[in-house]
Amino acid sequence: MQDSIPDRYEKNPMLVLVENYILDTLGTLEPAKVAKLNEIVCRTFGGKDWRSAIRHQFHLPPDADDSLKALWKQRQEEADTTQQDFTPEDFARDHADQIFRDLGD
């Protein structure tokens, strides 16, 4: 059976927004996706900058971007050392899950 929306997003559709925020922070999100997210998120939550809206909605600290970049660099180095494959998408999923755990899901 194939679902068009993976189970994780069906249970919590906000995960996809946070994951895309993280991917954009890392510079790996396509410009077309960024534009679409800006349109959708700003229409839903208000404002003119989707990233600011996400930070506000999920109570992310002002230094969230710098922290995410530093953690990504650290995880890349760990993955290189252990010869593991760790993609930006893996990182985004892991940290989106952590953000929701911190919020009390």
Residue 42 clears pLDDT 60, i.e. is over it? yes
Quote the percentage of the chain above a pLDDT of 70: 92
Q: Where are the alpha helices (DSSP H) in the chain?
A: 7-11, 14-25, 31-45, 50-57, 64-82, 88-103
Residue 36 pLDDT > 70, yes or no?
yes
- Interval 1-15 mean pLDDT: 74
Tokens describing residue 41: 């998120």
Residue span of the structural domain in which 79 resides? 7-103
Orientation angle between helical segments 31-45 and 14-25, nearest 10 degrees: 130
The model's confidence at residue 5, banded by pLDDT at 50, 70 and 90, is low
Is there a domain that residue 48 lies in?
Answer: yes
Does a structural domain hold residue 28? yes
Question: pTM surpassing 0.85?
Answer: yes
Residue 7: HSE in the Cβ half-sphere, 13 Å Cα cutoff: 2
Write out pLDDT tens, residues 43-87: 999 999 999 999 999 999 999 999 999 999 999 999 999 999 999
In a domain, 1, yes or no: no
On whether residue 97 sits in a domain, the answer given is yes
> Is 2 among the domain residues?
no
What do you get for the CA distance between the two ends of the chain, in Å?
A: 28
Where residue 104 falls among pLDDT bands split at 50, 70, 90? low
| Domain count across the chain | 1
